[in-house]
Structure 1
């Protein structure tokens, strides 16, 4: 393999165009998951403006780019997927029939280890290092919203009736309810981030928006717009005020759901669920094939989904002491986290403790 490694700002316009072309043809080449916007050049470039160590390996055959591998690297050679812990889809973007040697790729990138937690399906050379595989639910809307809604009624009749009834009640109790699929008002984004921060604190979770670089990243992506990619802020309004919002990323065929939140004052209407149905309707009208709800066990995801993708976590390593030390530190943490999340007898007590801590933090 002919492999060159670039900083984000060094990537040529021709290479960016080739990368986008690989994604746009992914569904035709039997790998539709590679069209995910988290694998787009725009996401990697935005990350490069907010975090150090972002690099892009370009694999060429006959002088032409055939694959793109975005990653983050520390000075010691520890590699991570771009946005590890934040991005919902990771891997190497390639064309049909492309195969690679993971060890050779890591060596060319100067990596002793590469860690991932949302590895896309079909990355065989990387999957050998996976320590676990997890479902990532999606909402298929490629046949149109009415087809999706009809299937939802069949799969989750009570959920569908209840959600639509709450939407009608919200309309009765408000002078006006409207939905904006692609809101460009920065004030609505600030409201979403404030709701989400409050939710993190209320449930005892770490507030992601307390990290300045994550807030900067969302601002970057909110203002990033190209033909195949955009940061999409969707907002549900009642009486002129936002009651639920979601910020995600769109490619040509995939809307990646990322940060949903709502105003707790409107909780009785389940505005977040109403918002997701409106998003599905608008996405179908825009030619989106599916909404990727992301890895994670949530009741609303189980109700909304039509099927599940699979994403993996783990490490690809070379024989190197840095790789041994990194895996020794990270493996127990991941194993404990997954054990808690997968077992209700562990998760429920831990969740109650976190929520009690959240209430205490909210009062301080």
Structure 2
């Protein structure tokens, strides 16, 4: 086995084509998660432009001149602590490989100069990495492979009345705010900035850390918005009522999958459920665009539960070598992740924690408003 490590920009056009081909073969072979856009070469290259710690290992079974059999994107710090590319942002991680390919995780980590590799959305079928799992979690998906009408029929079969109510949200919104129209692929950068402002406000309002307060994440989002190939694109979708945007979403799509990433809406229209209307329109747009499903991402939310058609599984944990740096990193990170997963996985704990975060968000917003007010 030959394992060579490159910066993302050092990969040749032939390498990137081989990577995309492996994703297509994986999807055709039933390993649909490996076709996720977060595992596409375009996503890794975009993160690599924003962060200098991104690397890609190319695995070849027939020596250094053989055809690539797998690609392993990762980030690495100076002491060999590795993480999935975009850890905390990406919703699908792992090694993209040909059907039936086998690898040794310890050999791979040594070749990459890693003592530990951390992940939180490891795709199914990555057994060599499943050395120390904190848990495996459902990641909801919306299957639109058979078209929009078939998807709605599945929703009606599960909950006829609930589906009628949700499909009616759009009519209620139109009565209040004007004719509703939807743009599946909005190319106005100003609308992307509006979405990021909405999302930052939502993070603060709900007590979460504002991802867009990090310049590299804003830069990454803007780069992906302008990235467009035959098999990958950053996709901004916007719901308008009258001439006013009321909800938007930015995600990334591959040949078959739309990865849902940053949804947000204007809170002035919250009682009309613009987020649900937006996701239903996205599902219809994805079906019309020839995509097979929308990946809603790990995490339990009411809109995911009512709109999903099923789940895929993702895992969180580490693959390690015997090394003191790996042990120290594990000791520092494991308790925090275990506590968070315990809270998230139990509704009786999750609801109070969510209320506490929202209270903190209101206090933070009040303090910021007071600080900006004239004395």
TM-score normalized with structure 1 length: 0.98
Q: Please list the CA deviations of residues 81-120 of structure 1 after superposition, one character each: whole Å capped at 9, or x if unmatched.
A: 0011110000000011100000000000000000000000
Q: 1:25 Cα shift?
A: 2.0
- The 2-side partners of 1:352 and 1:250 are apart by 33
**Alpha-carbon offset, residue 43 of structure 1:** 0.3
* CA offsets 1:276-321 (integer angstroms, 9 cap, x no match): 1111111011110100000001011010111100000000001111
Write the mapping of 1:181-200 to structure 2, written as runs, cut at 5 A.
Answer: 181-200=184-203
Distance between the aligned counterparts of 1:42 and 1:153, measured in 2?
37
- Distance in 2 (CA, whole Å) between partners of 1:173 and 1:203 is 26
Displacement, 1:32?
Answer: 1.2
The secondary structure found in structure 1 opposite 2:34 is helix
The answer to whether the aligner puts 1:343 opposite 2:346 as a matched pair is: yes
State the distance in 1 between where 2:356 and 2:338 align.
20
Alpha-carbon distance between aligned partners in 1 of 2:52 and 2:336, rounded to the nearest angstrom: 24
Displacement of 1:267: 1.0
Q: Is the 8 A contact 1:244 1:262 kept in 2?
A: yes
Which residue, 85, 88, 101 being the options, matches 2:88? 85
Partner of 1:327: 330
8 Å Cα contact 1:29-1:95 kept in structure 2? no
- Listed as ranges, the gaps of 5+ residues in structure 2 are 368-375
Judged with a 3 Å threshold, the aligned counterparts in structure 2 of structure 1 residues 147 and 103 are, in CA distance, closer, same or farther, namely same
Partners of 1:312 and 1:156 in 2: CA distance: 30
How far apart are residue 79 of structure 1 and its match? 0.4
Q: Give the structure 1 partner of residue 52 of structure 2.
A: 52
Partner of 2:163, secondary structure, is helix
Residues 155-186 of structure 1: CA deviation (Å, up to 9, x unaligned): 13333122222211222334321100000001
Give 1:154's aligned residue: 157
Picking from 250, 262, 271, the partner of 2:265 is 262
TM-score, normalised by the number of residues in structure 2: 0.95
In 1, the alpha carbon distance for the partners of 2:182 and 2:261 equals 18
Asked if 2 retains the 8 angstrom alpha-carbon contact of 1:112 and 1:320, the reply is yes
Q: State the match for 2:113 in structure 1.
A: 110
2:136 is paired with a residue whose SS is strand
Between the aligned partners of 1:207 and 1:159, the Cα distance in structure 2 is 33
Q: Secondary structure at the match of 2:46?
A: helix
Aligned to 1:27: 27
